[in-house]
Amino acid sequence: MLILLDQITKFFLTTTVNTGAAFSIFTGQRFFLIAISLLVILFILKYYKKKEYQLSLTFILAGTIGNLIDRIFLGHVRDFIDIKFWPVFNVADSLIVIGALYLGYKMWKKSHS
């Protein structure tokens, strides 16, 4: 459902495109970014069985797949959320950030218990 939400919002709301990753790093490095995305997906699938991390990994996985779909089929990622003081981003980017923050919190909490 999260991947579908990402793709639908990009279809209707795209205002700009990005051939790189966050903050336009690795601009024009499509195949490198596809390879990194595939490695992230494999890593997540390896650790997905750990119950305490499943929600955060689901968010990261959905965001990674959402942007990977764009990179494979369009050659760029579609962005549309513009809050003026930050680079334009999309639902997939938001899912990755939320998942990463939550994963970091869960790992920190586990190490301090």
pLDDT at 87: 94
Please state the pTM of the whole predicted model. 0.94
Q: Which residue has the tokens 């968010």?
A: 59
pLDDT of residue 113: 82
pLDDT in tens, 64-112: 999 999 999 999 999 999 999 999 999 999 999 999 999 999 999 999 9
70 is annotated as an active-site residue: no
Candidate list 6, 70, 79, 82, residue with the active-site label: 79
- Tell me the per-residue pLDDT of 10-61, one tens digit each, with 9 for 90 and over: 999 999 999 999 989 999 999 999 999 999 999 999 999 999 999 999 999 9
21 phi and psi, to 5 degrees?
Answer: -110, -155
Q: Which two tokens stand for residue 54?
A: 């499943």
- Please enumerate in sequence order all residues whose Cβ is within 8 A of that of 47, keeping only pairs 6 or more positions apart, or say none: 53, 57
| Annotated catalytic residue 6 | no
